[in-house]
Amino acid sequence: MIITLKPDTTQKGIEHVVEKIKELGFAPHISKGAKRTIIGVIGENPIRYRSVFEAMFIVESVVPISRPYKLVSREFKKENTKFKVGGVEIGGKKVVVMAGPCAVENRDLILEVAKEVKGAGAKVLRGGAFKPRTSPYSFQGLGKEGLKLLAEVSRITGLPVVTEAMDPRQVEVVSEYAHIIQIGARNMQNFDLLREVGRGKCPVLLKRGIASTVKELLMSAEYILSGGNYNLILCERGIRTFEDSTRFTLDLSAIPLIKKLTHLPVLVDPSHGTGMRDLVVPMSRAAIAAGSDGLIVEVHPRPEEALSDGLQALPPQDFRHLMQEIKAVATALGRES
C-alpha cells in the first residue's frame, strides 16, 4: 500500500505516519519526491488499515499496490532510479558499459583488459573472482586473491569494479573490495544471498535466472529493496529456450517490459546472452535501441586462451568497434555514451 502525503508535510508529520505504520507491525519505506513524500507500507495485507491513514489530515491518498512486487514497482516510484557508483551514474542519460574478462585469471591480464576497456570508453570493470561453473573440475576463480587484484587495478585505472558473490558468506569480503556486487543467474533465487545484500549498502547487479520469468526476477529484486538497499541494477542475460543454436536466448523484450513495470535501471549482457562472439555487437546495438541503460560485456585479449567463456569474449579491437556502434544508437535516441 502507498501513502501519499500532502505537499509541504513537515518532517514531524512524516515521523508520525512512520510510527503508526510500525505500531501496526509493517515496514515503512520512504521515498521523497520533488513535491511529495510517499511512504510504502510493506507487509501482509496492509490495506485493511486503509481508513486509519485516510483519517490523518496530512495524508493525501492511500492506494493498494496491485502487483506482487511493491517497492520495485512503478506504482511505488514513478521516476527512474538513478545512483552513482564511484562517480559513474547508473540509470541516467548516459549509457554505461561494464566490461572485462569473464574471470580474473592473473594480475597482468586484468590490468591489460582494464586499460583496454577504459581506453575504449567502458566506465566499470567486470571480472569474476568467485566463479559459478557448471563443472566442479573447471577453473573456479582466484577467490579473495582475485578480489585483491580487482581492487588494485581499480586504484590504478580509476574504474569501479563489479564482481560476483555466490554465497551470503562472501558478501562482506566482496563489498570490501568491489563497488558493485553481482548476483549471478544461478543465484537469482538464492534468498539468503538476496537478504544478505539487501541488508548492506553496496550496490547490487542482479542477473535474471536462466529459467526465470520477469516476474520472478522482480520478486527477487523485492527481497533486496525490502532489506533497505535501493541501489539495484537488473540484468537481462538470456534465458533457456528450445533454441540451441545460441547459448541462451537473449530476451530483449524484457527490457521495455522491466522499464514499464519498475523504476530500476536495466543492463543487458550480450556475451552470456548469446555465447557467440559474432552476435555480441549486433545484440548490443539492439539492447541500447530497446532502452537498456547499459551493457556488461566480456573482453579478453586472447580469447582462445581464456580460462572461461572464450567463445563469447571480444578481443579489444572488436570491443572498440562495439563502443562506436552503440554511441551511434545512443545518440540517435537522444542518449549519450
Q: How far is the CB of 161 from ligand PEP (least distance, A)?
A: 13
Segment interacting with Mn ion, rule: CB under 5 A, options 1-9, 277-285, 288-296, 303-311: 303-311
Q: Which of 7, 25, 33, 132 binds ligand PEP (CB under 6 A)?
A: 132
- Structural contact between residues 101 and 146, judged by C-beta atoms closer than 8 angstroms: no
The letter for the amino acid at 225 is L
237 binds ligand PEP (CB under 6 A): yes
- Residue 141, C-alpha cell as written in the block: 576463480
- Structural contact between residues 238 and 244, judged by C-beta atoms closer than 8 angstroms: no
102 binds Mn ion (CB under 5 A): yes
Segment interacting with Mn ion, rule: CB under 5 A, options 133-141, 163-171, 183-191, 301-309: 301-309
- Alpha-helical (H) ranges within the chain are 11-23, 50-54, 107-120, 144-157, 171-177, 191-199, 214-226, 254-261, 270-274, 277-289, 316-332
Segment interacting with ligand PEP, rule: CB under 6 A, options 24-32, 40-48, 115-123, 184-192: 184-192
Q: Which of 105, 164, 222, 309 binds Mn ion (CB under 5 A)?
A: 309
Residue 101: strand, helix, or coil:
coil
Of residues 81 and 271, the one with the C-beta less far from ligand PEP? 271
Segment interacting with ligand PEP, rule: CB under 6 A, options 4-12, 49-57, 182-190, 216-224: 182-190
240 binds ligand PEP (CB under 6 A): no
- Measured in degrees and rounded to the nearest 5, phi and psi for residue 253 equal -65, -20
Number of residues lying near Mn ion (CB under 5 A): 2
- Structural contact between residues 238 and 249, judged by C-beta atoms closer than 8 angstroms: yes
Residue 207 near which of Mn ion, ligand PEP, none (CB within 5-8 Å, type-dependent)? ligand PEP
- Measured in degrees and rounded to the nearest 5, phi and psi for residue 42 equal -110, 135
Q: x-or-dash pattern for ligand PEP, window 93-112, by CB under 6 A?
A: ---------x----------
- Structural contact between residues 323 and 279, judged by C-beta atoms closer than 8 angstroms: no
Residue 200 near which of ligand PEP, Mn ion, none (CB within 5-8 Å, type-dependent)? none
Q: 292-331: which residues touch ligand PEP (CB under 6 A)? A: none
- Structural contact between residues 44 and 1, judged by C-beta atoms closer than 8 angstroms: no
Closest by CA to 37, choosing from 14, 64, 17, 67, is 14
Q: What does the alpha-carbon distance between residue 267 and residue 228 come to, in Å, rounded to a whole number?
A: 22
Q: How far is the CB of 15 from ligand PEP (least distance, A)?
A: 41
Binding site for ligand PEP (CB under 6 A): 102, 128, 132, 184-186, 207, 237, 269, 272
